[in-house]
Chains A and B, each alone.
Chain A
Amino acid sequence: SQQGEEDPQALSIQEGENATMNCSYKTSINNLQWYRQNSGRGLVHLILIRSNEREKHSGRLRVTLDTSKKSSSLLITASRAADTASYFCATENNAGNMLTFGGGTRLMVKP
């Protein structure tokens, strides 16, 4: 079973627009991570936000975490065609020995 649920499941935008993806989870966590996957290949780690953090930035990425609502969002600003991929949130349990992924958001950025 997957703890995280991403919303939307699919998103299509024009180059230059912003893309926002949301993630909800069910149990307490140590941290929440976002990953990117191109065409069924290996995942690439994008950003990690700890349970005591509320917002984090990395380049064009902005992640927020609301532990009271058990939700997170990933914002990609000024999107590019190369951002086309599937994006997954993943929650690490408190013991730090298990990572649970959501079902992913498939993002398409049209040039």
Chain B
Amino acid sequence: ETGVTQSPTHLIKTRGQQVTLRCSSQSGHNTVSWYQQALGQGPQFIFQYYREEENGRGNFPPRFSGLQFPNYSSELNVNALELDDSALYLCASSPTGGAIETQYFGPGTRLLVL
């Protein structure tokens, strides 16, 4: 157990809908990153938040957005869902003040878009 929790564990949505995924960081960690992992592939970096600001972003369109709250919990929002958004979404927290270094992953949210 890493102390990082995610909710919900599973989610089914239809194309065009919007979804919000939540992550609670490990205590004391102020940096959170989000990843998308399609079946059979490695995780792809979506973005990183540090002190409530986006601190790095991968190659994802603007319909993927995020928030980090003062208690360092985080949300990933995806608008206008597409079938290809079906994946495991992972969040990871790290204690290293804006640098990734060692990360602690949550169990993930599995999203299915129909």
- Partner-B contacts on A (CB < 8 A): 1-2, 4, 31, 33, 35, 40-45, 48, 88, 90, 92, 95-104
Contact = CB atoms under 8 A, between A and B. Distances in A.
B88 to A, nearest CB: 6
A44 B88 contact: no
Contacts of B50: 97
B105 A42 contact: yes
10 contacts: A2-B42, A41-B107, A42-B90, A88-B43, A96-B99, A97-B48, A99-B33, A101-B35, A103-B41, A104-B41
Given A42-B107, A88-B42, A96 B58 contact: no
Contacts of A42: 2, 4, 90, 105-108
Given A1-B59, A42-B2, A42-B108, A101 B42 contact: yes
Given A43-B103, A97-B48, A97-B99, 18 more contacts: A2-B44, A4-B42, A33-B102, A42-B90, A42-B106, A42-B107, A43-B92, A44-B2, A45-B104, A88-B42, A92-B101, A96-B100, A98-B56, A101-B35, A101-B42, A101-B43, A101-B44, A104-B41
B98 interface: yes
B64 to A, nearest CB: 15
Contact of B45 (A96, A99, A104): A99
A98 B50 CA distance: 12
Contacts of A97: 48, 50, 55-56, 98-100
